[in-house]
Structure 1
């Protein structure tokens, strides 16, 4: 009996998270509403609060998931590389950008404008560190500044700041990454 209950709880949790993710894609994280999520998944509001005690807990879970999705994409790309540090860095940077372009609202949730009245709790730190780990492992110098450049580039691109300024953002991104490879002495 406990197995069926746990399975039902897992399914409901997944439905709630999917609805919340959809809301964020449509309205941004600031517009996330527990009542709208409840309505979307066919529950009363009080039932949703049994899964997530408040909006902040739901946001935290979405943030942790998003970091996990991004980290998974970067880790997979790095694992598929048969080459040295330069190729690993290129693969990691490209994977981060490709994932962000495929899931811009998840990327914005973790690296975009802060959500009003929300402060990420400490349990998000290991998830964020998992994204950074492949980059930091590639460079013996601990490439924190270069990782920030990758994240910054992607943030600017997703926000549309290169429109009318850069004709070929793919080439521009490759140039940024190649400069990082050179600066870090990876080639």
Structure 2
């Protein structure tokens, strides 16, 4: 095995062990010593791959964004209209969140004490948001047409030139709504009301199509 292959294998093993730790103890309880023990390395060896706990968390976050982006791309493949693309993306997001709740929580859940996501996570996050923007941000949405908001969103328009700034604002708000709904669903807050949340989720998607003006 080449040195590069050995390194890749060890990195994958460390990331897998770190995810096991997060499942058991949450992001705040991630221990480099425990990860090292899980993969059969001394702690100093783990630090050669990830010099800090924060670097390991960052790698996990970027990996999770990549997993979600792949799921979204697979879900929307072959969808032709903006509406069918939006529905496929939102449903893929929910399926991925339900199947991988700890990864969902890692990127969208409660902030980990002491951890601030560095700039290198931004492209990974953009890869998740971009397909939603491509599907739903082409129209003007009056409620999001304020000048101050438009000034803030100008930089986002650079990556989606066919989008309107008000459409971008509306899409970002709707993604936030989906993440919030899924956060509540995964935490069991709909038990006794809208559980299972299938019908509530689908009704939300129909309202989103109306808000975004896509069909």
Q: TM-score range by the shorter chain?
A: over 0.9
Aligned equivalents of 1:96 and 1:167: distance in 2?
18
| 1:90 pairs with 2:78 | no
1:153 to 181, 185, 192: 181
In structure 1, the residue matched to 2:129 is: 132
| Superposition pairs of residues 35-184 of structure 1, within 5 angstroms | 35-81=33-79, 83-139=80-136, 140=138, 141-142=167-168, 143-184=171-212
Aligned equivalents of 1:25 and 1:49: distance in 2?
21
Aligned CA-pair RMSD: 1.0
The normalised TM-score by structure 1 is 0.95
Gaps of 5+ in 2: 139-166
Cα distance per residue 1:138-161 (max 9 Å; x no partner): 121221111111111111111111
Question: Mean alpha-carbon deviation: is it higher for 141-150 or for 12-21?
Answer: 141-150
Cα distance per residue 1:24-70 (max 9 Å; x no partner): 11211111100000000000000000000010000000000001111
In structure 1, the residue matched to 2:15 is: 17
Aligned equivalents of 2:178 and 2:78: distance in 1?
20
Cα distance per residue 1:67-114 (max 9 Å; x no partner): 111111111111132x31111100000000000000000000000000
Bigger RCO of structures 1 and 2 (CA < 8 A, at least 6 apart): 1
Offset at 1:125?
0.8
Moved over 4 A (4+): none
Aligned equivalents of 1:168 and 1:40: distance in 2?
36
Gaps of 5+ in 1: none
Aligned equivalents of 2:33 and 2:43: distance in 1?
5
Query: How many residues align structurally?
Result: 184
Aligned equivalents of 2:69 and 2:177: distance in 1?
17
The normalised TM-score by structure 2 is 0.83
